[in-house]
Amino acid sequence: MNAMASPSPNPSQGRPLLMLDADGPLNPYEAMPDHRPDGYREHFLMPPSWAAQEEIRIAASPRVREPRPLPVWLNPGHGARLLSLPFQLIWATTWEAEANEFISPLLGLPDLPYVAWETPRPVQRGRGCWKTSEIVAWAAGRPFAWVDDEITRADRDWVARHHAGPALLHRVDAESGLGADDFASLSAWAAELG
């Protein structure tokens, strides 16, 4: 659980963590298929975990013969903007290691540490997101910002009770993805930490 894939010493260690979701903040899936925001490019990806789901779909339906690639919208400017933030970037997405293989190269991001979620997924507590307890465990008391489209008040309450350090839970709209206001909020929070 909570494995960390970090191939080499990272100069950004010591900064607050930025726990980064992919679907929603980087891939504004709720705008699909007809309302791609400005600046985003369309990609059709076939990560192994998606291919496995497609095999199940094909096996279940005699009318489906070919696996469909996964449509993903990404803004190529997001990599540089994320790297310019005073954070250590951590993938906190169901893509896990596949984020490094399939998303990072399209954004110009290096391989990042990632949260390897428990299997099976933790049971959702109340109305909170299923990721919350593992993100807090991964941060292990370090200051962190968490950027995700599924953050609710229940998660803020849970983090306040279970995480001793500073935390910013920043919800991003999955129709629009990360925007200038979101980057400004993250920068301002990190600056306040000092």
When binding is defined by CB under 5 A, the residue of 18, 19, 21, 92 that contacts Mg ion is 21
Q: Which is nearer to Mg ion, 86 or 183 (CB)?
A: 183
Measure the N-to-C terminal CA separation of the chain; round to a whole number of Å: 31
- What's the min distance (Å) between Cβ of 82 and Mg ion? 16
- What's the min distance (Å) between Cβ of 76 and Mg ion? 20
Beta-ladder partners of 18:
89, 145
Q: Which is nearer to Mg ion, 125 or 193 (CB)?
A: 125
Site string for Mg ion, 105-144 (x = CB under 5 A): ----------------------------------------
Size of the site for Mg ion (CB under 5 A): 4
The stretch near Mg ion (CB under 5 A) out of 14-22, 46-54, 123-131, 180-188 is 14-22
β-pairing verdict for 41-45 and 70-74: antiparallel
- What strands lie across the sheet with 144-148, from one edge to the other? 88-91, 17-20, 144-148, 167-171
Q: Which is nearer to Mg ion, 87 or 91 (CB)?
A: 91
Considering the rule CB under 5 A, would residue 23 count as an interface residue with Mg ion? Answer: yes
Q: Are the beta carbons of 15 and 142 closer than 8 angstroms?
A: no
Helix (H) or strand (E) segment spanning residue 104? helix 104-107
Q: Which residue is nearest to Mg ion (CB)?
A: 24
The stretch near Mg ion (CB under 5 A) out of 19-27, 42-50, 138-146, 152-160 is 19-27
Q: Identify the DSSP state of 55.
A: H
Considering the rule CB under 5 A, would residue 182 count as an interface residue with Mg ion? Answer: no
Q: What share of the chain is helix, strand, coil (3-state, %, to 5)?
A: 35, 15, 50
CB within 8 Å of 191: residues ≥ 6 apart: 86
Considering the rule CB under 5 A, would residue 149 count as an interface residue with Mg ion? Answer: yes
Q: Are the beta carbons of 36 and 73 closer than 8 angstroms?
A: yes
Residues forming contacts to Mg ion in the complex (CB under 5 A) are 21, 23-24, 149
